[in-house]
Amino acid sequence: AEQDYLDRTPRSAAAQARAARVLPGGNTRSSLWAAPYPLSITGGSGCRITDADGHEYVDFLGEFTAGIYGHTCSELEQALTEAHRGGFGLSSHTPYEAELAEELAARFPSIDLLRFANSGTEANIMALTAARLVTGRERIVVFAGGYHGGVLTFGSGNSPVNMPFEFAVLPYNDLRAAEREFTASGDRIAAVLVEPMQGAGGCVVGTPDFLQGLHSLCNESGALLIFDEVQTARMAPGGAQERLGITPDMTTLGKIFGGGLAFGAFGGSAAVMGRFDPSHPDAIPHAGTFNNNRLTMAAGLEAVRRHLTPEALQALFARGEAFREALNARFAARGGAFHVTGMGSIMNIHAVAEDAEVRRDRLRLLHLRMMERGYYFAPRGLIALSFPLGEAERAGFLDALDTVLAAGGANSE
Ligand code: PMP
């Protein structure tokens, strides 16, 4: 399978070799790297993408969940063109900015006031900064397998890239461990930063008991509960927090709300977020040339109003649930070498085996075989459905999967 990949993607290999001369690893997103080299995707339309060698794929990755609109969208194109023609980079705030803020504050129960940033990473860094300054405490509780941005990636121990915060890295979905941490250091904990579903960690869904328990621990100790909804915001108009019925103290957002452009946002109660008002006596500075980029704000506003409607989000969630169940049914019928976890339209295929190396090889082979059949998802198994991905494409994926599994394609080289 590996040799087949090398044979059919020489232009991706060449693109990688060229790029690696000026970009360490050949690109600017470490998450895109996969041995021997990632595909070079040269274009896309709707739910389809084309690689440098001219192969077409149905895109089941959806830009790691940010690409919910697919690759072409006339309404977003028009909103961007209008904003562009109206003058961008005006050295000022813009009406788009306030309107997008109104839309998001109305949707998320936890958000009275919010601010924009350029990425989910930045949004999380600002939320943690706010929590530390507002509580006057140092310690931040996070979870192994958590991903909140490049410098906020958590394995099981502390990592030198996580400075300057003091992190306690606890096991996810283990409320007892969190209780022990709060008993030992509750009065030093500024915040708990948690994904309602760990996305990059493999689509591990947080149990309601765990997330509710964290909420109680934070309430009792005066720490702030921060939900990172950079990925899970699409689960309902008010995000996963709406589905769970839990209102955290702060919420961070990203990805889909930029309408395809770089985006981040962090928000919370007026008491906390009011500290960002420059007229506050103890104002927290937060500037950023592109925080309110007129193009991003215009695209985001159009996206929220026209595409991220309650009906559309509900339907996408239901399609995702059904697709995950269909995948699991196929895998179970073919011997159970894989299973799929996730929530709504975001899911992750996992190989099932004792040995980590066997798991890795098995998933890798499945991934290669599915790419040969024209279906694209992340090498680590991530699938994120987009709006234009239709019934026919989903059925095609399931059929291709059947063919691959029937050929033993996931068990042998
Ligand atoms: N939080 C979560 C849950 C994410 O999935 C990501 C990105 N994959 C981030 C934060 C970081 O967002 P960005 O890539 O926009 O910096």
Ordered by start, the domain boundaries in the chain are 2-68+310-406, 74-307
Nearest CA to ligand 1 atom 7: 149
Residue 168 φ/ψ, nearest 5 degrees: -110, 115
How many CB atoms sit inside 10 A of residue 17's CB?
A: 11
- Please report the pLDDT score of residue 45 as a whole number: 97
A 10 A CB-CB count for 88 gives: 15
Q: Which residue has the higher pLDDT, 120 or 164?
A: 120
The residue behind tokens 């399609």 is 319
CA of 346 relative to ligand 1 center, distance in Å: 14
Asked, as a colleague might, if the bond just before 388 is cis with ω within 30 of 0, I would say no
Average pLDDT over residues 81-99: 94
Q: What is the pLDDT of residue 155?
A: 83
What element of type H or E holds 343?
strand 338-343
| In the predicted structure, residue 307 carries a pLDDT above the cut 90 | yes
SS3 call for 41: strand
Q: Using a cut of 0.95, tell me whether the model's pTM lies above it.
A: yes
Q: Residue 272 and residue 261: Cα distance in Å, rounded?
A: 27
Amino acid at 404: V
- Choose which residue among 172, 230, 293 to substitute to test ligand 1 binding: the one with the highest number of ligand atoms within 8 A of its C-beta: 230
Q: Which CATH class is domain 2-68+310-406?
A: alpha beta
Nearest to 255 by CA among 346, 360, 319: 346
pLDDT of residue 164: 80
Q: Averaged over 214-240, what is the pLDDT?
A: 98
Distance CA 204, CA 201 (A): 7
Residue 124 has pLDDT above 60, yes or no: yes
Six-digit token pair at 398?
């399931």
pLDDT higher than 70, residue 410: no
pLDDT score at 413: 42
Q: Are 8 and 51 in contact (CB under 8 A)?
A: no
Best probe residue, ligand 1, of 30, 148, 293 (max atoms within 8 Å of C-beta): 148
Give dist(CA 178, CA 213) in Å, integer: 9
Nearest CA, atom 10, ligand 1: 148
| Number of C-beta neighbours around residue 143 at 10 A | 28
- Nearest one of 203, 312, 201 to 256, comparing CA atoms: 312
CATH no. of 74-307: 3.40.640.10
231, 380, 382, best to mutate for ligand 1 pocket (most atoms within 8 Å of CB): 231
CB atoms within 10 A of CB 34: 13
Average pLDDT (22-26) is 95
Q: Does the C-beta of 120 come closer than 6 Å to ligand 1?
A: yes
Q: Is the ipTM of this complex over 0.90?
A: yes
Is the distance from the beta carbon of residue 237 to the nearest atom of ligand 1 less than 6 Å? no
The rounded Å distance from CA 61 to ligand 1 centre is 15
Q: pLDDT (tens digit, 9 = 90+) per residue, 313-372?
A: 999 999 999 999 999 999 999 999 999 999 999 999 999 999 999 999 999 999 999 999
Six token digits for residue 213:
């328990």
Number of the ligand 1 atom closest to the C-alpha atom of 195: 3
For 68, the token pair is 């919910």
Is there a contact between 325 and 396 (Cβ–Cβ < 8 Å)? Answer: no
Helix (H) / strand (E) element for 323: namely: helix 310-333
Sign of the alpha-carbon dihedral angle for 45, 50, 55, 56? negative
pLDDT digits 0-9 by tens, 154-188: 987 667 676 688 999 999 999 999 999 999 999 99
Q: Which of 30, 47, 50, 29 is nearest to 39 (CA)?
A: 50
